[in-house]
Amino acid sequence: MALAGKNILLGISGGIAAYKTPLLVRQLVQAGAQVQTVLTRSALEFVTPTTLAALSGRPPRLETFDIEAESAMGHIELARWADALLIAPATAHTLARLAMGLADDLLTTLALATPASLFVAPAMNQQMWAHPSVQRNLTQLIDAGCRVIGPESGEQACGDVGEGRMSEPEAIVRSLIESFAPQRLAGRRVVITAGPTREAIDPVRYISNHSSGKQGYAIAAAARDAGAEVVLISGPTALAKPPGMEFVAVESARDMLAASQAAAPGSDVFIGVAAVADYRPAQQHDRKIKREKTGDMRIDMQMNPDIIHSVARSDRRPQVVVGFAAETNDALQHARDKRVRKGLDLIVVNDVSLPGIGFNSNDNAATIISAHEEVVLHKQSKDALARALISAIADLLDSQLAPTNPESAPQ
């Protein structure tokens, strides 16, 4: 009953993902919440008021000018009643209306009238999600204090595959539960590297790796949601730029090093999630190398700078430095050695040879290793793993602030 005593306004807009909302209502009620649903006109095409009333115990609200409802609990009273306004699914059209501050139906009127926190769970086609207008509207909403849950990547109703699927009800409820806990990184500055690097051979070819950036982006979002000021330094990915944080795009390992050295000083936490290329071509040709008729081509390689070691050993080291290790054998021992060798507070290791986790997957499994313990995170979504890591980092920051001898602390 983690939401016991909480009043949740659930706004439902007109997208195919609305078919998930009856299950969402049920899980909110099971978590102890009082749920009042509010439907847009187009939502009626996807879910019935009868179903929602049966699950929530309250008839859905549909119209601003509902004489019976206004006589009992007007829209202002309803806005005051809420502890949170959750809109799921939040279509591109709904996000645009919220960003513009429109009040052209009951749902958007409530969004303006309520002092409660606003949460949106976007759901739309992957191309719509990536559109600059949608991302601009999201950024504006986040800057105004809105929390964004998801979306997820996967197959969509239209047949496309990509980001834009509404998060599952379990993930939405979990995010709502976590939102009522204190923002554990409020006032903290967190720098995160993500994605691969590309090391140019010539103007056409480069050396890189299979990193999609999904785990790093998920960690950046989790840190943002925990109240941190986030700087995300990203190599080339196909992911949409996460809203609500500073974003620095880089290409090569040397680019990422320069950006990290500029951002890390004065930060509280540095998390090196990026899969940085260990080597780069010793010579970068300014023209395309033509294929020879006979013989093989050989490329001399030289070592790239060690970004995480540079940050961990710097004079203005962040309070907590976290590294990642993607291994294919003897994962734990390699990670233990790497943590000590590079001077890290925590290292997160996963075995990328295992099917269904790691590079390009939506799921991951890992072990968080510190000087004192090893915490196993079993297979779960990368968003869930990101939240677990941020919680572990917050625990470490809290322990560093605690007095070493509690009996000697001021009373």
Q: What is the pLDDT of residues 28-46, one digit of tens each?
A: 999 999 999 999 999 999 9
pLDDT digits 0-9 by tens, 267-279: 999 999 999 999 9
Q: Worst-scoring range by mean pLDDT, 171-180, 211-220, 258-267, 289-298?
A: 289-298
pLDDT digits 0-9 by tens, 62-77: 875 555 555 545 678 8
C-alpha 405: how far from chain center: 37
Residues known to be catalytic? 158
Mean pLDDT across the chain, nearest whole number? 89
Q: 20 CB contacts (<8 Å, ≥6 apart)? A: 88, 89, 166, 168, 169
CATH topology match: 7-179 vs 189-282+300-399: yes
Q: Binning pLDDT at 50, 70 and 90, where does residue 383 land?
A: confident
Q: How far is it between the farthest Cα atoms of the chain?
A: 87
Q: Which of 193, 196, 195, 194 is nearest to 207 (CA)?
A: 196
pLDDT digits 0-9 by tens, 101-126: 999 999 999 999 999 999 999 999 98
Could you please state the CATH topology (level 3) that the domain comprising 7-179 is classified under.
Answer: Rossmann fold (3.40.50)
- The CA-based angle 192-340-365, given to 5 degrees, is 55
Domain assignments of the chain as residue spans, ordered by start = 7-179, 189-282+300-399
For residue 212, what are its two tokens?
């999609």
Q: Binning pLDDT at 50, 70 and 90, where does residue 206 land?
A: very high
The structure's pTM equals: 0.71
pLDDT for residue 293 is more than 70: no
For residue 37, what are its two tokens?
């649903």
Could you please state the CATH topology (level 3) that the domain comprising 189-282+300-399 is classified under.
Answer: Rossmann fold (3.40.50)
Q: Binning pLDDT at 50, 70 and 90, where does residue 409 land?
A: very low
